[in-house]
Amino acid sequence: MNQVRLPKVSVAVIGLVVASVFHATPVLGAILTRQEFSGDFTLVDATSPFLTNSLPEESEYSGFVVYSESGTLSDWELSVNNLDLNLKRGSTNGGNLTPDVDFELDSGSNWNLVVDFGIAFDAPRYTLERTSSSEITLTGEVGRAGTYIYQDSAANITLSSSSTSVPEPTSLLGLLFGVGAIASRFSRLPNRPT
């Protein structure tokens, strides 16, 4: 009885496919932290009489930031009701101005988020900070009109975290090529005698 020997190339391809199956298993990605915050801002400073007379003394606000362990910002949002301020990722300033967004994660869970629409060109810049376990501060710089600061020293802040899994696309591609190569190789083998 004749034995059919698998060519060495096919054996190598089988090994490649087996290895690809193991590497195709999703790998652990970044751990993301989401901080949600809300409360009532109180105006604590304004650098011009115009701002003092035009800004509300208090306002409800809410928002969130999502960031990785390395401090990379993933998503964010801020809404301040009485200022008609609604900022989020992808926001524009009522026109074509897209802000530069800078995020810095301090020790612990404190952070600093700067949304700059072009302060050098008299467009607004907003700085939102978590400065302690329960304090949120908003600084608005509105060009020549001046600067104002809102603060909430008793903010409602909740934290949650999640991990993301990302498959390795190159390994999945290797798996597909490997399966195709084996199928092609076996289709060319002579039939075994009965």
62 plus 117 within the same structural domain: yes
58 plus 97 within the same structural domain: yes
Residue 18's CB is within 10 A of a number of other CB atoms, namely 12
Distance between CA 6 and CA 65 in Å, rounded?
Answer: 57
Compute the Cα dihedral for 77, 108, 59, 51 and give only its sign. negative
175 plus 137 within the same structural domain: no
Domain-located, residue 41: yes
Q: What is the pLDDT of residue 5?
A: 54
136 plus 183 within the same structural domain: no
Q: Mean of the pLDDT values across residues 133-154? A: 95
Domain-located, residue 20: yes
Q: What is the pLDDT of residue 93?
A: 72
Q: What is the pLDDT of residue 169?
A: 45
- Ranking 131-140, 142-151, 168-177 by mean pLDDT, the lowest is 168-177
Q: With CA atoms as reference, report the closest residue to 20 among 169, 183, 181.
A: 169
Domain-located, residue 180: yes
Domain-located, residue 176: yes
Of 188 and 84, the one with more pLDDT = 84
Q: What is the pLDDT of residue 164?
A: 65
Q: Mean of the pLDDT values across residues 158-184? A: 55
126 plus 172 within the same structural domain: no
Domain-located, residue 174: yes
Count of structural domains within the chain:
2
Q: With CA atoms as reference, report the closest residue to 77 among 136, 32, 35.
A: 35
Domain-located, residue 142: yes
Of 147 and 179, the one with more pLDDT = 147
69 plus 147 within the same structural domain: yes
CB-based burial of residue 132 (10 Å sphere; 0-12 exposed, 13-18 middle, 19+ buried)? middle
136 plus 82 within the same structural domain: yes
Q: Give yes or no for residue 174 having a pLDDT over 70.
A: no
Domain-located, residue 194: no
21 plus 81 within the same structural domain: no
Q: Mean of the pLDDT values across residues 65-85? A: 95
21 plus 35 within the same structural domain: no
52 plus 140 within the same structural domain: yes
132 plus 69 within the same structural domain: yes
Domain-located, residue 66: yes
Count H helices and E strands in the chain, helices first: 3, 10
* Domain hosting residue 40, numbered range: 29-164
Q: Mean of the pLDDT values across residues 81-106? A: 89
pLDDT class for 166, splitting at 50, 70, 90?
very low
Residue 155's CB is within 10 A of a number of other CB atoms, namely 19
> Which phi and psi (to 5°) does residue 117 adopt?
-85, 0
Q: Give yes or no for residue 25 having a pLDDT over 60.
A: no
95 plus 178 within the same structural domain: no
Q: What is the pLDDT of residue 97?
A: 83
Q: What is the pLDDT of residue 91?
A: 82
Compute the Cα dihedral for 63, 67, 73, 74 and give only its sign. negative
